[in-house]
Structure 1
Amino acid sequence: MMDFLTDYAGLLAALAVAGLFAGLAAGLFGIGGGVVIVPTLFFLLSTMGYEETAMHVAVATSLATIILTSIRSVMAHHKRGAVDWDIIRGWSPWIVLGAILGMLAAGYFSKQVMLAIFGSILLLFAAQFYFGRPGWTLASEMPKGPVRAGIGTFNGALSAIMGIGGGTLGVTLMTLCGVVMHRAVATAAGWGVAIGLPGAIAAIIVGWGREGLPPFSAGFVNLPAFALISVFTVLMAPVGAALAHKLNADRLRRLFGILLAVVSARMLLQAAGL
């Protein structure tokens, strides 16, 4: 383990910075941090020579880190009375189902397919962050019945394939269904556990014994990256949650949207082999 720490000191430092930013983003925007962690891990692991498994490891490790981040973030929001536990209870079973199905499928996708999916959806997120308005609504309440089952399963599957918490899709869904922004951010943070835990377990199972994995990996989950990023995301998530209740985040959302667009473009170029 000491050799790993010595040889990859730069990698570990980069993971620490990514963890700080991911935790801050998780609490501030309710996005789970995966949109920061996955690209960071992918590019770092690719430069270290693990190109073929880098995207799968990045996604799976991100899912594992989201578990602790989401717990910490939702607890911080709960203290402010902002979490709608009825939404979490009603949607979680379908999100769990989707997360398991999504990660089992992702385990057999090629690197190019994973990059194309992540880059394309990330571009949509970038547009939402930059152009979206909290006041936009399509319905007066959250869907129920078969519609909830379908949307919840799709949310869980897509989130697991991308290695992101439910907040990235959940905040958009909730605000479009009339949930106020602060409550949507707080509640969506709770969806991360429903995605991260079953998704990470499925990633360990489907990735077990694969060739070309980085050192100290359990299936597709890289344990040193998981441990280091988790520490810093857990520390920063409450800070982001506190800022979410104090700041007008419109300018920050637009800047973050620009960053996501740049990252998306680079990943799409990688998927195209350019």
Structure 2
Amino acid sequence: MFYVLLACFGCLSGVTAVLFGFGGGFVVVPLMYRLLMARHSGDAMGESAMHIAVATSTCVMIVNALVATRKHHRAGQMIRHYLWPFGGFIGLGAILGAAAATAMNGEIIRYAFISYLGLTILDCLLRRGFLTRGSDSVPRRLAKTETVLGGATIGIIATFLGVGGSVMTVPLLRRCGLSMSQATSMANPLSLPVALAGTVTYMVMSNFTGTDFGTWFIGYVDLLAFVVLTLGALLGIRLATPWIGRIPDRLHARVYVGLLMLVMIGMFSG
């Protein structure tokens, strides 16, 4: 049942990667955390449940982000100047965020995850430019501060929480004047630096804690869970691809915020 659920939620993560830029973290992290706590309460894996969930999530995001980026590129949704050097600074911040997360208690990461979701939802609802976009609005380029300081901050927070960064990049790009379809498309390649830096760091840093979870683990990354989640995600990406660019902008934005609310409630109840 454990792996059946992972496969189903992996499929869902593939759908959200294509349509909303969520590379897997918002789907995988809450699920894996709750399943690991249920199966390993009181042992070493239970105590490290949040670290394992976040680490495995970042690994799954590599595949999700790569495949979804290819699909969006074929659909003509990529805008190059929003990707570099912004993505480079996200990658630098990602290394710092992953290193900090391995030194933190799992419950601290969990509540940081919940708090960040709450703040993001409020920001999307209260600040102009996210739920509605003027039909005559002209997209602007990212400012230097947004590129350097914003990129590094996104990398730190995203890798610390294992969420890929879409929850920060999508609202930011949305306020630059991009449509929801364009903003969520950009979120996938911008999640790659976070996923790569986070995965490598989580694999290496656990060696310094003396933790060994068994044969199917590299550091905090659960390889069996990764394979099952990835296979499910590839199916989800295939199912969602025909919908690229076809969802009305206002509906797309509202569903995005609604999904954030559902994840926050699920994580809080866990």
TM range (shorter): 0.7 to 0.9
**1:133 matches 2:136:** no
Distance 1:266-1:187 versus aligned 2 partners, 3 A rule: closer
Distance 1:262-1:73 versus aligned 2 partners, 3 A rule: closer
CA deviation vs aligned residue, 1:106-135 (integer Å, no higher than 9, x gap): 000111210111111123344567774042
Rounded to whole Å, the distance in 2 between the matches of 1:53 and 1:103 is 15
Gaps of 5+ in 2: none
**1:18 matches 2:17:** no
Any conservation in 2 of the 1:22–1:32 contact (CA below 8 Å)? Answer: yes
Give 1:5's aligned residue. Answer: none
Kindly report the root-mean-square deviation, in angstroms, between the aligned alpha carbons of the 2 structures.
Answer: 2.6
Q: How many pairs does the alignment contain?
A: 260
User: Which of 23, 27, 32 is the equivalent residue of 1:32?
Assistant: 23
Distance 1:171-1:266 versus aligned 2 partners, 3 A rule: closer
The alignment-based identity, stated in percent, is 26
Rounded to whole Å, the distance in 2 between the matches of 1:177 and 1:19 is 31
Distance 1:199-1:216 versus aligned 2 partners, 3 A rule: same
Partner amino acid, structure 1, of 2:193: A
Normalising by the residue count of structure 1, what TM-score does the alignment of the two structures yield?
A: 0.85
Any conservation in 2 of the 1:76–1:238 contact (CA below 8 Å)? Answer: no
Rounded to whole Å, the distance in 2 between the matches of 1:161 and 1:51 is 19
Any conservation in 2 of the 1:53–1:213 contact (CA below 8 Å)? Answer: no
**1:206 matches 2:202:** no
Distance 1:167-1:185 versus aligned 2 partners, 3 A rule: same
Gaps of 5+ in 1: 1-9
1:143, distance to aligned residue in structure 2 (A)? 2.6
Q: Which moved more, 1:207-216 or 1:172-181?
A: 207-216
1:145, distance to aligned residue in structure 2 (A)? 2.9
Partner amino acid, structure 2, of 1:142: R
Alignment of 1:158-173 (within 5 A): 158-173=157-172
Give 1:217's aligned residue. Answer: 217
Distance 1:54-1:155 versus aligned 2 partners, 3 A rule: same
Give 2:61's aligned residue. Answer: 66
Rounded to whole Å, the distance in 2 between the matches of 1:252 and 1:188 is 14
Alignment of 1:56-205 (within 5 A): 56-127=51-122, 132-135=130-133, 141-205=140-204
Give 1:230's aligned residue. Answer: 230
CA deviation vs aligned residue, 1:160-188 (integer Å, no higher than 9, x gap): 11111232211111011112222211112
Rounded to whole Å, the distance in 1 between the matches of 2:106 and 2:138 is 37
1:69, distance to aligned residue in structure 2 (A)? 0.5
Rounded to whole Å, the distance in 2 between the matches of 1:102 and 1:17 is 29
Partner amino acid, structure 2, of 1:225: A
Give 1:54's aligned residue. Answer: 49
CA deviation vs aligned residue, 1:16-44 (integer Å, no higher than 9, x gap): 01101111011111121210110001001
Give 1:240's aligned residue. Answer: 240
Partner amino acid, structure 2, of 1:32: G
Any conservation in 2 of the 1:126–1:256 contact (CA below 8 Å)? Answer: no
Any conservation in 1 of the 2:3–2:225 contact (CA below 8 Å)? Answer: yes
Distance 1:23-1:210 versus aligned 2 partners, 3 A rule: farther
Rounded to whole Å, the distance in 1 between the matches of 2:123 and 2:214 is 34
